[in-house]
Amino acid sequence: METIRQTPDGAASCGAITDMQGPSPTRRLFDKLLSLRWVLLAVIIVSGFIYIPIVENFRVSMTNRDIFTGEVSNVGLTNYQRLLDDPVVWRALLNNTFYALISIFFQVFCAFVLAAIIEGLRNRRVRNFWRAVYFIPSAISTTVTGLLFYFIYQPDVGLMDAALTFLGLEQFSHPWLALESTAIFGIIAMSQWQGFGYSTLLFSIAIQKIPRELYDAATMDGAGPVRQLFSITFPMAREMSGLMIIVTITGAFQVFNEVMVMTSGGPSNSSQVLGTWFYEQAFILNDFGYGAAIAAIIFVVTMLTGIAQVWYTRKRRVQL
Amino acid sequence: MPVSAQQTAPTDIWSTLARAVLLGFLLCLGILVIYPLLWMALSGFKTNSQIFNAPFDLPTGFSWANYVAAWNQGVRSFLVSSIVVTASSAACTVLISAWTAYGLTRTRMPAKPIITAFILGGMMLSPTVALIPLVRMMQSIGLYNTHWALIILYTAFRIPFTTFLIRAYMLELPSDLDEAARMDGASDRQIFWRIMLPLCRPIIVSSVILHVLFAWNEYLFAMIFTSDLDVQTLPVGLTSLMAKHGTNYAQVFAAMTISALPIVILFFLMQRYFIRGLTEGIGK
């Protein structure tokens, strides 16, 4: 601490007195500005690697590069017009939507019911055991699980068709990932297998926060387990469900890894999602302008769900 | 709890039956989840013809040949890359996020809400949207196809989320301790290293785990920013291996098992922190 400082009226005073009066306004302003050093690095990194590139992406989306001369020209909104006429974009949007809807069913609704069942078990260790077992696939890389299911769906070695044969259901055997009609659903099924344990875990924790007295009172009133599920557990965990729906939609529109590993969007673009179609245009065909325009759709969707999430958690103050 | 813990008459036949049905259901679901993983690990011990002819059978012997071959075909190098990238980016992310969170919660910074919104807003933005400009940037500064590209990008894209976690935790901490230290003449720097960081240990552990889970499994950046086998991380390395030795199924299965194992072991060792981290990560 300083021993002698100028006070605003110009008189010198000793440190003890300044401390009592607080530091001078200039000093205070200096301190305030100096405290920015704590966030400076984060602001620079986040601007440089997230915000600026995203703005730049929009600039790129308005350009085209001539394949022969390498010249870049401004083409305005041409790439966006091209999006509207591109059937694969619509197919990709549809697939992302399938992804979102099916995931909401399994990872919000089913996971919630499963969490309620697990939390209904008496033994704590047994509850922990089941939650951990179901969670394991979520810890593993989607590349590994994607490859694993690529093999499982293979007609020659795959477990899927072997299991169907074992059950006497040979007529349902398919080369799942090689058919236009089933490829995307094969991938989505893998995603559900991998992801439901994660949401079950989150719902379990939401259910644990519900006050015990509610259940005791309901039991006194003669409400059975199913009644309690619908009258207490369901409404009490509703906020968590709302949040999970938003998170699931965001995830569904950003999906890339599993589709890339299992089919790369094929056959005949039938399992293309926005992420893989973006990758193919930008990095396989080197059409950066059009790729950037596809990325812009991903931006809009994730931005909207992001805003919805902030709005929802603010409004309801979701607590776990 | 909600379903059947309140039953007062456990001898009731219907309740016993319902319990049996539920347990049977949990068991079947558990098998459905675990069996494919077990199949993957066991297939690593088989030969190709065994995989083709008898997918359900147990391997005839536990020969490590496929695992050793996969290890030498590149898995060792992918593993080293994954460890380097994951550990470095975890350290950078958590340190930078912790001191950013300190600035956002414990200093009298101007425009605090705006800066907070700016940094945390990064969470909403999809990495895909920044990808094309980032590739050009990394190429022009010469970091393309190096571990640095991944370390920097993983750090940058995880700072918003990690700051959000640590900030929420710091806001809950009472301010008595750091105020007392400040009265005693401690500088911001001393308060951060000696008081706040130790107090934040639980959330730091959770943040590290969540970062490891992310960086170990990340695929899009890793695929686009690395092209040489010796800089590729496990997820990308696996797809390279698959492209090269795709017909040798047993070896690919062994490689997959090796890359899945570390994170599964980590999960079982740190389960408590894992679960806390995941729940902190959502909903606040």
CA distances to A14, A16, A115, B183 from A20, in Å:
10, 7, 57, 12
Q: Please, how many CA atoms are within 13 Å of residue A286, restricted to the half-sphere of its CB? A: 7
Residues lower than pLDDT 70 in chain A: 1-22, 316-320
Decide: A184 and A270 in contact? Cβ < 8 Å.
yes
Tokens of A183: 């490829």
Cβ <8 Å between A38 and B160: no
pLDDT digits (tens, 9 = 90+) for A147-199: 999 999 988 777 888 788 878 777 777 788 988 999 999 999 999 999 999 99
C-alpha B226/C-alpha B238 separation (Å) is 13
Nearest-Cα residue of chain B relative to residue A236? B2
In sequence order, what are the beta bridge partners of A72? A65
**Cβ pair B245, B251 in contact under 8 A:** yes
- pLDDT for B36: 93
B130 contacts A49? CB cut-off 8 A = yes
**Cross-chain residue pair A38–B104, CB shorter than 8 Å:** yes
CA distance A25 to A33: 12
| Residue A294, C-beta contacts closer than 8 angstroms, at least 6 positions apart | A83, A89, A274, A277, A278, A281, A282
3-state secondary structure (DSSP) of residue B103: helix
How many angstroms separate the CA atoms of B163 and B169, rounded? 10
Specify the pTM.
0.88
B130 → closest Cβ in A57, A114, A159: A57
Q: In terms of CA atoms, which chain B residue is nearest residue A217?
A: B6
Chain A nearest CA to B175, separation (Å): 17
Could you tell me which chain A residue has the CA closest to the CA of B51?
A157
Question: Which residues from chain B sit within 8 angstroms of residue A159, using beta carbons?
Answer: 36, 39, 55-56
DSSP per residue, B215-236: HHH--HHHHHH--STTT--HHH
Flag residues of chain B having pLDDT under 70: 1-11, 246, 281-284
Burial class (CB in 10 A: 0-12, 13-18, 19+), A256: buried
d(Cα A248, Cα A97) in Å, to the nearest integer? 11
Q: Nearest CB to A292: which of B132, B253, B283? A: B132
Give the ipTM of the model, two decimals please. 0.89
Taking a C-beta distance cutoff of 8 angstroms, is the pair B225, B141 a contact? no
Residue A141, sorted as left (phi over 0), alpha (psi -120 to 50) or beta, turns out to be beta
The reply to whether omega before A267 is within 30° of 0 (cis) is: yes
**Residue type present at position B273:** Y
- Cβ separation A140–B37 shorter than 8 A: yes
- Give the model's pLDDT for residue B282: 63
Q: For residues A42 and B160, what is the distance between their CA atoms, to the nearest angstrom?
A: 8
pLDDT of residue B219: 95
Residues of chain A with C-beta less than 8 angstroms from the C-beta of B275: 131, 201, 205
With an 8 Å Cβ cutoff, are A148 and B123 in contact?
no
